[in-house]
Structure 1
């Protein structure tokens, strides 16, 4: 609509009035918590609102390939527990980088 009005203005044609229709709002406010107002009538909270928030954001991801990857990652993250592999590095986050930058690392 905006592009149509820009082109119309450049060509000296009449502009079309823009009217925005608000479909509601969704907000994720933490892990598995959220609030949503859909179509200005339906109110959701907690987990259903959080899932709707995820669904809405996921649909907006560009390209089908990326969208599928995001949804699969979210589904796996909701089913599986947090990975414990990286938890050790929380105490010393620069450790792996320092180790990898050492010239003798992995070389003989």
Structure 2
């Protein structure tokens, strides 16, 4: 599994927030069909936005380090941009970062 980090510009956060709330509710309820549907909708809606993919191990290390430095940190789907700047080459604008788990694509090269 990989984690997709997507920069959400400030003017798009309102559009994303409703789907993030629905995803969180589905996840908390254990409704995996709704989780999959909301995740797919968010990936589609953010497909043209600046994003990067990291390994699950990198993500877990980042979360552990972040929590060690800030015990109150909650790993929500939207994270303050300044917390994720190490994962992006360019300076982040006034934005948030959406993180979603995604399945790794297998290479079809033969």
TM-score (norm 1): 0.31
Higher relative contact order (CA 8 A, sep 6+): 2
TM-score (norm 2): 0.31
> Based on CA coordinates, which of the two structures has the bigger radius of gyration?
1
